[in-house]
Amino acid sequence: MTSGRAPVRVVVVGSGIAGLTVALHAADAGCRVTLATKDVLEHANTRYAQGGIAGVMFPDDRADAHLQDTLIAGAGLGDPAAVRVLVEEGPARIRELIALGVAFDRAADGTLVKGLEAAHSYPRILHAGGDATGTAIERALVAALRTAEIRILEHAFLVDLIRDGDRVVGVDLLIGETDDAEGHRLRLDADAVVLATGGAGELYAHSTNPDVATADGIAAALRVGAAVADLEFVQFHPTTIAVGTPFLVSEAVRGEGAILIDDDGRRFVFDAHPDGELAPRDVVARAIARRMEEQGGRPVLLDVSPLHPCDASARASYLARRFPTIDAAVRERGLDWSREPIPVTPAAHYLMGGVVTDLHGRTSVPGLYAVGETARTGVHGANRLASNSLLEGAVFGARAGDVIAGDADEDAWTGPGIAPAPAASDSAASDPSSSPFPDPVPAFSRPLLQRAMWDGAGLVRDDGGLAHTAALIAAWRAQPRTPRREKEYEDENLLLVAAHLVAAARARTLSVGAHYRRDTAPTPRSPAPNLVVEGSS
């Protein structure tokens, strides 16, 4: 910062790995930081991440191999420059987490334990607490935040961004709402606002996300005209427990040797991909959905017996030690996965698209940054590689936090090179006249929206289903509503982002990655040689 000037005022909205990392780095750079989060600090998607964090932390691994795996998983649509930043700066960010107290699992000799997950060519996944990696990272970052000179606002919901001319200059928050009482509004002026509000899992009837994932940041960015892209790329995790509330069963379980079988006991995923259970997530999820349809909607089964094929007692002990969180969730549902396969089904998991940023989190609107799942950095392409999400939050969160102070001294905004859209940007698909809904429209409810998105814009899509869903969303958006409570604002955000997601899915007529159109032939995955990027680390 320029000598003698007041500290740059930064508001970070969201408290997952990306938001917490931005806040800590910006504070270290001398900014005056306020972090606002809609629940308590610890209630973020990061806390629920089981699988781990990917990084080139071993001497026999290479950044180019991690880059290659990421680009292949992204079906050739990832940005090689962004991916190189991710894989080359990732190890430093992981070491930073270790310095903050994240106790990644180690072998008896003190070396980090390697984990393998789908579509990785090397076992480069680090875990903490077996399957509690996200919880360990969240706790360490929150502890660091509480000791830093950072103002913390919990139970602070982002109603909207405040824009002055072409620049974002603050946030409008709803503070302290409870079930029994309305909250109060608070305006915070800022030189920079960072959106780190996570994704949009609440758009779907089946989701691995916590209920705070209501697309608030993406919706707010749309309303101020920020460029948004790739919303059609929604990753559906292949394996959530199909009993009780959806609960994710980490990719790491299959990485350790668990298999997927159908009603006949057959390993069916090899019909779709030579890597079987360790194929990219979109392939495995669709293979499960297809087999479920063929067997009358019944879930497929996850069989962990190969982990200890001859001894159920040893298997039970291993599962409780290696996957304690999942083991507890399985047993809470009355299942004993050490003795019999458990039913699993896909669920919405991660949004690859979002607010378009450059390699430092800058959006197309001056003063506005986006990081984590809210952002579309380009690293994931059409399908995220397993365990790259925590890494992306750490890497690009740090990058954004490191440049905010300097950006405030610059006369020109160097964003992603995309002109901002007009404020309150919207798509033609959200206009009821563009696709009139032919039937009587039921009154809006969130469960109806979630079911419509699951059926019409879910794991497998076609133009008829998308058109029907677009018309229904448009009709709901035309129904008069005046939000006053947090849930009502969330509903408006979900409807806005749903309209844009469906419009993007209709516009992309060919299947690629996580966007699968049954009415068009899939685009073949680009072979690895075409994805090699010059340079090495």
Cα(402)–Cα(29) distance, integer angstroms = 7
Out of 163, 281, 286, 477, the active site residue is 281
d(CA 418, CA 347): 33
Radius of gyration of the CA atoms of the chain, in A: 22
Considering only CA atoms, which of 365, 364, 372 is closest in space to residue 400? Answer: 372
Q: For residue 281, indicate whether it is catalytic.
A: yes
User: What is the DSSP pairing of strand 53-54 with strand 150-153?
Assistant: unpaired
Return the DSSP state at 362. Answer: B
Q: Please state, in angstroms and rounded to a whole number, the distance separating the CA atoms of residues 320 and 317.
A: 5
Instruction: Give the residue from 352, 374, 38, 457 showing the smallest Cα distance to 194.
Output: 374
Backbone angles phi, psi at 254, to 5 degrees: -70, -30
Give 235's strand partners.
350
Residue 253 tokens, joined: 């379980």
**E runs forming strands in 156-294:** 156-164, 167-175, 184-189, 192-195, 228-229, 234-241, 259-261
- Picking from 508, 509, 434, 499, the residue whose alpha carbon sits closest to that of residue 473 is 499
Q: How many Å apart are CA 506 and CA 238, to the nearest integer?
A: 24
Strands 9-13 and 32-36: parallel
Cα-based torsion angle of the residue sequence 149, 363, 507, 493 in order, rounded to the nearest 10 degrees: 40
Using CA atoms, how far residue 312 sits from 210, 336, 340, 381, 511, in Å, is: 33, 10, 9, 41, 42
Taking CA atoms, 490 is separated from 135, 462, 493, 497, in Å, by: 25, 27, 5, 11
Task: Provide the CA 262 distance to its chain's centre, in angstroms.
Answer: 29
Q: Which residues are catalytic?
A: 281
